[in-house]
Structure 1
Amino acid sequence: MTALDFAALNAAIPPFDTESADLAREHWAAVAKPLGSLGVLEDAVVQLAGIMGTPNPEIRDRAVLVFCADNGVVAQGVTQCGQEVSTLVADSVAAGTSSVAVMAKTVRAQVVSVDVGLATPPSNPRVVGCSVAPGTADMTEGPAMTPEQAAAAIDVGIDAAHSMRSRGFDILCAGEMGIGNTTTSSAIASVLLGLDPTVSVGRGAGLDDEGLARKEAAVRRAIQVNAPDPADAFDVLCKVGGFDICAMAGLYIGGALCGMPVVVDGLVSAVAALAASRLCPACTHAMLASHISTEPATVAILEALGLHPPINAGMRLGEGSGAVALLPLLDMALAVYDAASFDDLGMDAYEELS
């Protein structure tokens, strides 16, 4: 497989349904409460209406897809632990014992663990096997992956979205697990947004000052060695990306193709969304922001995407946990959306005052 035809994929994405969105906005104005008083949660319901093509959106069946992969850049001492941890967590996700898995149970979300490139094969048979390769190459020494591998990983995400849609799911959360993936994410953000690594690189799972310096140096060296083209997101993914990031980019594209919203999690998930938006700009309207990660590049990425997350809780767990945290807020917003109207209460509607 070579590079995908992103122009064709982009053209195939259904347009945002502005009529349904406008009807949802009008409906909000009739609900018996102060106008706009649920803030960005009202905007999220309007966006759901436009994505799903109905002024009465429902998110009854929800899933979290956790794409797991390893990154060769860990050889540069940019993490606290080794690649074996990626597989341990992938197995834990599949077993229902990881952080995101137990969170998802509280909001009736199914969690799917997907091996898209783990260095060590998982032992849990419930991990979905879609491995492109046993981890990427060390991006400080050359490209992280070949164009064929990048395309294959993106295809994993696109196929996953179609599969989940065919199984009746209404909304997806983009999650990941891969030791070293905040390093690759920082590199991608640096290139696509023109950020210096001193701005884009954070402490990840908890690096000390020396580890942070190594991580920053690795990102800087990877960009110098590979010279990724900021105008070509696919080239950036090939040279300084990860299989997990490619798969999530595919999930965003596939979700948009299916008219299905995909919730963005933290830094890694957000940088995949940014890459997807550069590959297929039409997919951006199907993205819902969840939270602002403490990783430093996150705010710039969300601003570039035009996304406004409702949660700012200092989270940096990953796995799709922040995306899952949005689901109960959406449930509550949709409950209010279906609540009593001004007419039901026999009172005059509020008016927008300037």
Structure 2
Amino acid sequence: MTPTWLEAPVHPVDEAAAAAAQARQARLTKPPGSLGELEAVAVRLAALQGRERPAAERVRMVVFAADHGVAASGVSAFPQAVTVQMVRNFAAGGAAISVLARALGAELEVVDVGTLEPPGELPGLVSARVGPGTANFQHQDAMTPAQLGAALEAGRAAVERAAVADCQLFIGGEMGIANTSAAAAVACALLAEDPSVLAGPGTGLDTAGVGRKVTVLREALARHGDLAAAPLEALRCFGGFELAALAGAFLACAQRGIPVLVDGFIAGVAALVVQRLRPETTPWLLFGHVSAEPGHRRVLEALGGRPLLDLGMRLGEGTGAAVAVPLLRLACALHSGMATFAEAGIAGG
């Protein structure tokens, strides 16, 4: 059964705040449009936050971790044990996203949605285990309907915690060996693309490894036929618990009125699921960067997303989005801190 909260209305965008922010931009001491995308993103954040002068100081980063049965099909360059080892690294503060969170003064939460081995009690770790990883979607559906509902709920619950903390921007990250295969399969189903277009090296597969991944995905996709109009079913059949949690989180953010800064390929596919399920969520999804994972550009094209950065990153964890946070903060600072022509006594405003 589909969770009823998925049908809850999406928070409306505040067009009056957008108009006020746009009017302020026109009065600032600069030629109109001279700050390019920094102007546009400030106005967009104003519309989402419902105020003329937006902010991106209180950032909540949530990394969802889970394992994937399809790893047994040889689609990753790393063993599944790495997933839980990285969860412990997040908690210890040694991972890239941990470093970025500290540097940005952002809150970091790690959610175990279903690693193969339970990581135990760790600081900053929330247990929302759906199971010890998904089933191998090469041979059977990745999740049961109940598991999909529980994974979506794990994402919604993380957003509820972020809302209590009054966060101004949400970043969803992920960790799970073989999750680029799961994301590629979901994207192929939704976009009716061949896996050769969307499957990439992930954690570092060579050419032969990518070819093996493509073969596995083709076999799995052939079992189900056309799922382009069934985003939740595509997610259930091919996705991972962490991918479903991301989707649940992104939808919950749109319902709660919290802007989302979407990371790379995995998070982008979660956003695609949400957009196909609830198109009205689109304004709430901002895009931090374009990943070096080959399928991400195609996913961004389908989302109509314009990424802030293109740095050749492909780590995941939410790192690409995190690196874009200073740009959003600077956009807000310029929007709020610059003098108007009248305030500066400059003619022409």
TM-score range, shorter chain: over 0.9
Give the 5 Å matches for 1:1-354: 2-5=1-4, 8-9=7-8, 12-126=9-123, 127-227=125-225, 229-338=227-336, 339-349=338-348
Amino acid at match of 1:283: T
* Alpha-carbon separation, structure 2, partners of 1:46 and 1:219: 41
Is the CA contact 1:267–1:298 (under 8 Å) kept in the aligned structure 2?
yes
* Alpha-carbon separation, structure 1, partners of 2:237 and 2:6: 21
Partner deviation per Cα, 1:312-344 (whole Å, 9 max, x = no partner): 111101000011011111111111112112222
| Aligned residue-pair number | 347
Per-residue deviation at 1:124?
4.6
* Alpha-carbon separation, structure 2, partners of 1:141 and 1:245: 19
Distance 1:50 1:144, change over 3 A: same
Partner deviation per Cα, 1:159-198 (whole Å, 9 max, x = no partner): 2111110122221101000000000111111111121111
Amino acid at match of 1:346: G
Amino acid at match of 1:259: G
SS in 1 for 2:223: helix
Unaligned runs of 5+ in 2: none
What CA RMSD, in Å, does the superposition of the two structures yield over aligned residues? 1.4
Distance 1:27 1:184, change over 3 A: same
* Alpha-carbon separation, structure 2, partners of 1:114 and 1:99: 16
Is the CA contact 1:95–1:124 (under 8 Å) kept in the aligned structure 2?
no
Per-residue deviation at 1:228?
5.5
Is the CA contact 1:142–1:226 (under 8 Å) kept in the aligned structure 2?
no
Amino acid at match of 2:200: G
SS in 1 for 2:113: strand
SS in 2 for 1:226: coil
Is the CA contact 1:228–1:239 (under 8 Å) kept in the aligned structure 2?
no
* Alpha-carbon separation, structure 1, partners of 2:300 and 2:249: 18
Is the CA contact 1:70–1:136 (under 8 Å) kept in the aligned structure 2?
yes
TM-score (norm. length: structure 2):
0.96
Is the CA contact 2:57–2:329 (under 8 Å) kept in the aligned structure 1?
no
* Alpha-carbon separation, structure 2, partners of 1:314 and 1:259: 31
Is the CA contact 2:261–2:286 (under 8 Å) kept in the aligned structure 1?
yes
* Alpha-carbon separation, structure 2, partners of 1:139 and 1:263: 29
Distance 1:7 1:112, change over 3 A: closer
* Alpha-carbon separation, structure 1, partners of 2:348 and 2:303: 34
Amino acid at match of 1:170: Q
Is the CA contact 2:56–2:332 (under 8 Å) kept in the aligned structure 1?
no
Is the CA contact 1:68–1:244 (under 8 Å) kept in the aligned structure 2?
yes
SS in 1 for 2:182: helix
* Alpha-carbon separation, structure 2, partners of 1:37 and 1:207: 43
Distance 1:237 1:340, change over 3 A: same
Unaligned runs of 5+ in 1: none
TM-score (norm. length: structure 1):
0.95
* Alpha-carbon separation, structure 1, partners of 2:12 and 2:49: 10
Q: Which stretch shifts more, 296-305 or 265-274?
A: 296-305
* Alpha-carbon separation, structure 1, partners of 2:109 and 2:240: 19
Amino acid at match of 2:345: G
* Alpha-carbon separation, structure 1, partners of 2:134 and 2:299: 24
Partner deviation per Cα, 1:42-101 (whole Å, 9 max, x = no partner): 222112111111112122211110000101110111111111101111111122111111
* Alpha-carbon separation, structure 2, partners of 1:129 and 1:7: 22
Amino acid at match of 1:70: D
SS in 2 for 1:36: coil
Is the CA contact 2:59–2:168 (under 8 Å) kept in the aligned structure 1?
yes
Per-residue deviation at 1:345?
2.1
* Alpha-carbon separation, structure 1, partners of 2:226 and 2:59: 36
SS in 2 for 1:301: helix
Per-residue deviation at 1:267?
0.1
* Alpha-carbon separation, structure 2, partners of 1:336 and 1:116: 39
Q: Which stretch shifts more, 191-200 or 35-44?
A: 35-44
Is the CA contact 1:18–1:50 (under 8 Å) kept in the aligned structure 2?
yes
Q: Which stretch shifts more, 29-38 or 281-290?
A: 29-38
Q: Which stretch shifts more, 222-231 or 141-150?
A: 222-231
* Alpha-carbon separation, structure 1, partners of 2:331 and 2:212: 44
Per-residue deviation at 1:146?
0.7
